[in-house]
Amino acid sequence: MVRIFKDELFEAQWLRTAGYASYGGAELGECLAVAGQIRELDAESWFAAWATAAERLQGLADGSLARGRAESARGAYLRAANYWRSAYTFLIGAPVEPRVVSTYRRQRAAFQAAAALMTPKTEQIEIPYEGRRLHGYLLRGGESSDARPTLIVNGGYDSTAEESYFLSGAAAVARGYTCLLFDGPGQGGAVIENGLPFRPDWEAVIRPVVDYALSRPEVDPQRIALLGCSFGGEPRLAALIADPGEVSLEDEFKSRMPPFIAERMASRSPWITWPLQFVLGRRTRHLTQGWGLRRGLWVHGLDQPLDYLRLLADYSLKDIADRIRCPSLICCAEDDDIGVTARDLFDRLPEPKTFHTFASKDGAGGHCEAGARVLFNQYVFDWLDEILAA
């Protein structure tokens, strides 16, 4: 594929943002113009370029809305929301940078301004969770409140509920599904504003989300599917889509590490831990090579990289994958180095199950099929339609 940036992570994050053009989250010309203002491996120019584009679109949207041009305003607000989210990508970490908080809030406000103009109706929701509230949205698949097949979209490490609209929320609504988007612990507003860290027993998160879904008349209780990563059991799901499938976060990370580090992660010997801390500390300080480590420390509420790597052993489906009883679709992308354990997960699941690889020749080989999300959603919803019809 033609590259915009030499650095792999800059390239991936640019494509992630530009790829939402299919669902109103970007314009290719705008994204190319922004790229021209960004210096390679420069977080400040990345922030400034995307924030400037978002600010401009915010002004255009406000102007259109004031003149009663709802469709123009909605489109500009959606793109502004996506660009605000992209702007703070390389600023994330602990302690939380003030610009991350303010820019996150601006992406949320821009999306909510767009949501107010959507048809069918999009509703801001709060999901009760252990004495707190998880922020989210309920998207209707039609004008009525009739019960419909429902998709819960569960985002990833650095995603937001708003971004989930571009991932598969808009595609769900276009097919007549009710769709529920939310920020769980370690995600979006839950970590940026409330400091809630990730947890390995993710069933404790999905359970109240399903409870909330079942309280809504727009949700068919017999046809609820989950798209994302499932770390535990939820017997009320009718289908599961994992994009990408991962049986073990520890194995995923080990596959991307030098062998001398991967083989010694669990060691407590000071002769091992000190060199590991030194190597990981140096890597953490690199803008892009250490980005995943900094993000992991932040969303898990940890201080030391080695503690983060050891924590990953808790995030495993190896001993419980056979308890997932609903029909499952396990996905992977051909060039994605996240999801190397997808086949292992698939092999551990009981029937019925389907495995699908998205190919690079189709432009869908990147993480979460960035740049080819329409192709992903076509395959997934065609599969899901058949499963739920049965």
- Is 232 a residue whose pLDDT tops 90? no
Q: What sign results for the dihedral spanned by CA atoms 149, 154, 155, 161?
A: positive
User: Cα separations (Å) of 2 from 6, 11, 15, 157, 333?
Assistant: 11, 10, 11, 27, 18
Query: Regarding predicted confidence, which is higher, 270 or 247?
Result: 247
Residue 138, C-beta contacts closer than 8 angstroms, at least 6 positions apart:
122, 123, 125, 178, 179, 180, 216, 218
- Is 253 a residue whose pLDDT tops 90? no
User: Cα separations (Å) of 277 from 31, 272, 385?
Assistant: 38, 9, 49
- Is 229 a residue whose pLDDT tops 70? no
- Is 348 a residue whose pLDDT tops 90? yes
pLDDT of residue 235: 81
User: What percent of the chain stands above pLDDT 70?
Assistant: 98
Range of lowest pLDDT (63-77, 103-117, 142-156, 255-269) = 255-269
**SS3 track for 87-155:** HCHHHCCCCCCHHHHHHHHHHHHHHHHHHCCCCCCEEEEEEEECCEEEEEEEECCCCCCCCEEEEEEEC
pLDDT band at 365 (very low <50, low <70, confident <90, very high): very high
Instruction: Indicate left, alpha or beta for 334 from its phi (over 0: left) and psi (-120 to 50: alpha).
Output: alpha
Q: Catalytic pick from 64, 86, 159, 230? A: 230
| Run of H or E residues at 296 | helix 291-300
Provide the 10 A C-beta neighbour count for residue 351: 8
- Report the mean per-residue pLDDT for the chain: 94
Mean pLDDT value across residues 380-385:
98
pLDDT of residue 86: 98
Residue 353, C-beta contacts closer than 8 angstroms, at least 6 positions apart:
327, 328, 329, 330, 346
Catalytic residue at 145?
no
Is the bond leading into 244 cis (omega within 30 degrees of zero)? yes
Mean pLDDT value across residues 32-55:
98
User: Cα separations (Å) of 300 from 98, 103, 222, 223, 275?
Assistant: 19, 21, 34, 32, 23
Do residues 252 and 246 make contact, with C-beta atoms less than 8 angstroms apart?
yes
pLDDT of residue 233: 54
- Is 58 a residue whose pLDDT tops 90? yes
CA torsion, points 112, 113, 114, 120, in degrees to nearest 10?
A: 70
Instruction: Indicate left, alpha or beta for 313 from its phi (over 0: left) and psi (-120 to 50: alpha).
Output: alpha
CA gap 244, 14 in Å, rounded: 20
CA gap 306, 297 in Å, rounded: 10
pLDDT tens per residue, range 297-346: 999 999 999 899 889 999 999 999 999 999 999 999 999 989 999 999 99
CA gap 112, 125 in Å, rounded: 11
pLDDT band at 271 (very low <50, low <70, confident <90, very high): confident
Mean pLDDT value across residues 183-205:
95
